[in-house]
Amino acid sequence: MSDSERPIREVTRNRRAKYDFEILETLEVGVALQGTEVKTLRAGEVSLGEAFVRIRNGQMWLEQARIDEYREGNRHNHDPSRPRRLLAHKREIQRWAQRMKEKGLTIVPLSLYFRGRSVKLEIGLGKGRKRHDKRQVIKDRDNRRELRKFTR
């Protein structure tokens, strides 16, 4: 079974990301996790609301993502807000690091999901929106909704 045929089960989605940022490009990366973190993800106790991606020493790191402690865990439980290494090809990391040097671009996590048994994170290269841009996004969305109402 190829990677694209494996079933996807979404754990969480960063709903504010597409509102706060204009997403220019996306990439699917793996996440290096501890055992108790995977068990917590299966229960869906994770938040990407304040999370962002940083590139340090040629590696991508997921910062400020909160994966709650495993309820049945013992003293070897994980730290809920520790930085987590993202697994991507070296060439992709270098290309994204180069793009981040452009003015106003940042890497934001979009969604976290299981692809088969693997935990994957969809990240996006985004440009921050100003307040008036956000208002325009809301107007466009409302207009599309109204159009769909009348075309039915």
pLDDT-derived band at 134, boundaries 50, 70, 90? confident
Is pTM, for the whole model, over 0.95?
no
Tell me the fold of 9-151.
Small Protein B; Chain: A; (2.40.280)
The residue ranges of every structural domain in the chain are: 9-151
Mean pLDDT over residues 118-144, rounded? 84
Determine the Cα–Cα distance for residues 119 and 93; give it in Å rounded to an integer.
Answer: 19
pLDDT in tens, 19-53: 788 888 999 999 998 878 888 888 888 888 888 89
